[in-house]
Amino acid sequence: MMGRAVAIDVSKLGKVYDGVTAVQDLSFQVYAGEIFGLLGPNGAGKSTTLRVLITLLRPTTGQATVLGHDVVREAEAVRRLIGYVPQERAIDRFLTGREHLLLLGDLYHLPKDESCRRIAELLKLVDLEGKADLPAKTYSGGMKRKLDIACGLLPNPKILFLDEPTLGLDVQSRLRIWEYIRRLRERGITVVMTTNYLDEADQLCDRLAIIDEGRIKALGSPSELKTALGGDTLSLTVGEADMGRVELLASALKGLPAIRAISTRPTGLEIRVESPEKALPAVLEAAGRLACRLEFIEYHRPRLDDVFVAHTGHAIRSEFPEAEE
């Protein structure tokens, strides 16, 4: 990680919308060639951060540079280097897919033949060749999303900004889009994306910032973040009749060498442990001694969910893609 080229540098960034503070004191860097994620629940300030970086919003405080250009003073230069895929499906229902791309080709001032060449290439990349000449109102949600992504790629950007690229898509389409995004990284494009899906952040992003209530709560690669939590998790589900003894069990376990932290859950206990070999026998022994019947024992390495909860104090709200409206 050391010495990598910095593509985006954000320092003490804040944005207030007439009295409402959307983000404050954000500082982070995005390295060239990585997939960087902003992970957070609805209203966390992800889109706001992105809009500042693509020069559509002026920050209230702090500053940001994209490939060395200040997003306020050198907005024009920034716009020439980036591509953007908005969160809403920014599609004109009456235009065909190809017409969208041709329009954008002119807005990026591409010569006609260059524009047509790239459009053919992109339509192939996102599998829309067959539908390219139908009006966008006949497209499904996933197809619109693909067109969106093709639009973002048309300028051949150094950095692509994607706002919730898979929101509301079915599982297959999500996997396809993850695949495209990885391919972009192979082509050397830096990707900055927002998401409120933990699995997406975990599997797709090289590094991520967890953002909640307008602030960054944690920053690092998914595996760094998980390791930093320290230890694996042991979840005990206690028989309903024995729930009265959970507190007793917790205090019996507290302070044992292999056990790091214990928290009570409605169905039992969640224990952060150093190593399963040492912890498991001790837990079983204590439960047996207290006659506390364990219905179910689950052991897992830390997941991004645990990281999220540890840093924000609450679970991210939506873990599963909602159905397309």
Partner 1 sequence: MREYLQEISALTMRWVRRLSREKFSMLFTLVQPMLFWLIFFGNLFQRAADTQVVQAPTYISFLAAGVVVMTVLNNGLAGGVDLLFDKENGFLERLMSTPIHRTSVILSRFLFVMTITSLQVLVILGVAFLFGVRPATGFLGVAVILLIGLLFGVGLTAISMALAFSVKSHGDFFSVLGFLSLPMIFLSSALVPLSAMPAWMSLLARFNPMTWAIDAVRPLILSGWAAALGPVAMVVVIMVAFDALCLYGSAKAFRRAMG
Ligand X SMILES: Nc1ncnc2c1ncn2[C@@H]1O[C@H](COP(=O)(O)OP(=O)(O)OP(=O)(O)O)[C@@H](O)[C@H]1O
Contacts of 170 (CB under 8 A, 6+ apart): 142, 321, 324
For 261, the token pair is 């932290």
Q: Does 97 bind partner 1 (CB under 8 A)?
A: no
Tallying the residues shown for the chain, one arrives at 325
Element (H, E) at 193: strand 190-195
- Residues in contact with ligand X, total (CB under 6 A)? 13
109 binds, among partner 1, ligand X, Mg ion, none (CB under 5 to 8 A by kind): partner 1
For 285, the token pair is 């022994």
Q: How far is the CB of 90 from partner 1 (least distance, A)?
A: 4
- Residues in contact with partner 1, total (CB under 8 A)? 31
Beta strands (DSSP E) in the chain are: 6-17, 20-31, 35-39, 61-66, 69-70, 82-85, 159-163, 190-195, 207-212, 215-220, 232-238, 259-265, 268-273, 294-300
Q: How far is the CB of 45 from partner 1 (least distance, A)?
A: 15
Contacts of 34 (CB under 8 A, 6+ apart): 185, 190, 191, 206, 207
Stretch that binds Mg ion, among 8-16, 45-53, 132-140, 185-193 (CB under 5 A): 45-53
Q: Build a one-symbol-per-residue string for 67-96: x at contacts with partner 1 by CB under 8 A, - elsewhere.
A: ---------x--xx-x-x-xxxxxxx-xx-
Q: Does 324 bind partner 1 (CB under 8 A)?
A: no
* C-alpha gyration radius of the chain: 24
For 20, the token pair is 């409402």
One-letter amino acid identity for 164? E
Nearest to 54 by CA among 27, 26, 89, 85: 85
Cα 151 to Cα 126, 219, 311, distances in angstroms: 11, 30, 36
Within residues 33-72, the interface with partner 1 by CB under 8 A covers 51, 54-58
Q: How far is the CB of 91 from partner 1 (least distance, A)?
A: 7
Q: How far is the CB of 92 from ligand X (least distance, A)?
A: 22
Q: Does 40 bind ligand X (CB under 6 A)?
A: yes
Alpha-carbon distance of 190 to 265, in angstroms, equals 41
Looking at the Cβ atoms of 115 and 195, the one nearer to partner 1 is 115
Q: How far is the CB of 222 from partner 1 (least distance, A)?
A: 29
Q: How far is the CB of 111 from partner 1 (least distance, A)?
A: 9
Other Cβ atoms closer than 10 A to 267: 15
For 190, the token pair is 């830096």
By CB under 6 A, name the one of 2, 20, 241, 291 that touches ligand X. Answer: 20
Looking at the Cβ atoms of 148 and 242, the one nearer to ligand X is 148
Q: How far is the CB of 280 from ligand X (least distance, A)?
A: 39
Alpha-carbon distance of 290 to 202, in angstroms, equals 39
91 binds, among partner 1, Mg ion, ligand X, none (CB under 5 to 8 A by kind): partner 1
Alpha-carbon distance of 201 to 225, in angstroms, equals 12
By CB under 5 A, name the one of 13, 15, 24, 47 that touches Mg ion. Answer: 47
Are residues 242 and 291 in contact, defined by beta-carbon separation less than 8 angstroms? Answer: yes
Are residues 165 and 194 in contact, defined by beta-carbon separation less than 8 angstroms? Answer: no
22 binds, among Mg ion, ligand X, partner 1, none (CB under 5 to 8 A by kind): ligand X
Looking at the Cβ atoms of 76 and 325, the one nearer to partner 1 is 76
Looking at the Cβ atoms of 43 and 135, the one nearer to ligand X is 43
The binding site for partner 1 (CB under 8 A) comprises 51, 54-58, 76, 79-80, 82, 84, 86-92, 94-95, 99, 102-104, 106-109, 135, 151, 155
The binding site for ligand X (CB under 6 A) comprises 17, 20, 22, 40, 42-48, 87, 196
